[in-house]
Structure 1
Amino acid sequence: MKKLIILCSLACLLFTSCKKIIEIDTNNAEPQLVIEGVITNQIGDQVIKISKSVSYDDQSIFPAVSGAAVSVSDSRGNTYNFTENAAGVYALRMRGVAGVTYTMKAVVEGKTYTAISKMPTAVRLDSIGVVVNTFFN
């Protein structure tokens, strides 16, 4: 009897749920600036990409933003100026150091954007293994 009451209660909840429709106009949203970048502890080109967003249903690529002044400074007093290698792609050959705080500054179309992040220390692995589980045998 308890199972029947619980089952009926769940069925009532399932079929009588509330529904509110929210209309969001995604096609007419103004393009927003997108800045994405990664600094790693590997020697090589560190890349920062700058582009603009597109509408939700637009299948084209994100339009690149050229002509920005991009720099990264660290907590040790060094400043690194990135150069534009391709449209919207700013790069510099450097190596990040764990424990150092980096501040990215980008001047795009007369506006200044900043971001601050600290590179975490690497996690030491003491072991790694694989366990094989077989199901249905």
Structure 2
Amino acid sequence: MIRYLWHHLRRFFLPSAQLKNVFLFWGAVLLLINALNWLLAHYIVGRIIVSGQDLALLHYNVNFGVNLIGPIREMYTLPFIGLMVTVVNYFIVVALDRWQDAKFVTHLLMACAVVVNFVLLGGLFSLYLINFY
């Protein structure tokens, strides 16, 4: 029973052999970018805590200036969004693994996840600039 369950779970959650190398490359890139997102968010939160504040500037608009102030735990929202995009794309790719054009779709979805994570990294960097300069 356990062997049967393990076989089906493994087949659902792990990609086929043809996509393993693709996942290794994109997975390493996404892991690095997402780790940078989490580290930058943690650094910003640490600097805000050291300065003795419990609120952070979360959004800046050119027309109105700062228009969103909130708790510092909200800094972790952007890295979490990047992680969720990566996980959702992973499950979509694994679900479409048996499809004929799975390799193209894998590259497309993982490249989109990389772009999203880079945009979120830029957003975190702008939050750093807003809060400290």
Q: Which has the higher contact order (CA 8 A, sep 6+)?
A: 2
Q: TM-score, normalised by structure 2?
A: 0.19
From the two aligned structures, give the one with the greater strand fraction.
1
From the two aligned structures, give the one with the greater helix fraction.
2
Q: Which has the larger radius of gyration?
A: 1
